[in-house]
Amino acid sequence: MLKFMKHRHQDYYPVHANRPMQFRKVLAWVCCGLFISQSATVSWAEEVTVASEIRCDPAQVLGAESCAKCHEQEVRQWKLTPHFATFELLHRMPEAKAITKNLGLKSVKRNDMCVKCHYTRQLIDERLRVVSGVSCESCHGGAKDWLALHNDYGGPSAKKELESAEHRQHRIESSVAAGMNNPGNLYLVARQCFSCHTTPDEKLVNVGGHAPGSLDFELVSWSQGMVRHNFLRTDGVTNGELSLAQLRVMYVVGVMADLEASLRATGLATTKATFGISSAQRAAKLKVKLHEICQLVEDAHLQRALDAVLCVPLKLHQTKALQAAADQVGEEASAFATHADGEKLTAIDRMLPKPSEYKRRAESGE
Provide the binding-site residues for ligand HEC, judged by CB under 6 A: 54, 62, 64, 66-67, 69-71, 74-75, 78, 82-83, 86, 89-90, 93, 95-96, 99-100, 103, 105, 108, 113-114, 116-118, 134-140, 143, 147, 150-151, 160, 172, 182-184, 189, 192-193, 196-197, 199-201, 204, 208, 210-211, 214, 222-223, 227-233, 240, 242, 359
Least Cα distance to 227 among 245, 250, 255, 248 occurs for: 250
Instruction: Pick between residue 24 and residue 97 the one whose CB is nearest to ligand HEC.
Output: 97
Q: Smallest gap, in angstroms, from Cβ of residue 340 to ligand HEC?
A: 14
**For the chain, how many residues are written?**
366
Q: Smallest gap, in angstroms, from Cβ of residue 129 to ligand HEC?
A: 16
Instruction: Pick between residue 306 and residue 340 the one whose CB is nearest to ligand HEC.
Output: 340
Q: What is each CA distance from 112 to 100, 118, 131, in whole angstroms?
A: 11, 10, 14
Are the C-beta atoms of 244 and 261 separated by less than 8 Å? no
Query: With the C-alpha atoms ordered 174, 176, 182, 184, is the resulting torsion angle positive or negative?
Result: positive
Q: Smallest gap, in angstroms, from Cβ of residue 72 to ligand HEC?
A: 9
What is the CB-side half-sphere exposure of residue 288 using CA atoms within 13 A? 18
Instruction: Pick between residue 28 and residue 93 the one whose CB is nearest to ligand HEC.
Output: 93
Instruction: Pick between residue 175 and residue 318 the one whose CB is nearest to ligand HEC.
Output: 175
Instruction: Pick between residue 199 and residue 306 the one whose CB is nearest to ligand HEC.
Output: 199
Radius of gyration in angstroms for the set of CA atoms belonging to the chain, rounded to a whole number? 21
Which residues contact residue 295 at a Cβ distance below 8 angstroms, ignoring those fewer than 6 apart? 17, 20
Instruction: Pick between residue 83 and residue 272 the one whose CB is nearest to ligand HEC.
Output: 83
Least Cα distance to 20 among 259, 301, 351 occurs for: 351
C-alpha–C-alpha distance, residues 209 and 339, integer Å: 41
The one-letter amino acid code at 250 reads: M
What is the CB-side half-sphere exposure of residue 92 using CA atoms within 13 A? 5
Q: Smallest gap, in angstroms, from Cβ of residue 299 to ligand HEC?
A: 20
Are the C-beta atoms of 287 and 229 separated by less than 8 Å? no
Q: Smallest gap, in angstroms, from Cβ of residue 109 to ligand HEC?
A: 10
Instruction: Pick between residue 62 and residue 245 the one whose CB is nearest to ligand HEC.
Output: 62
Q: Smallest gap, in angstroms, from Cβ of residue 64 to ligand HEC?
A: 5
Least Cα distance to 163 among 234, 171, 235 occurs for: 171
Q: Smallest gap, in angstroms, from Cβ of residue 49 to ligand HEC?
A: 16
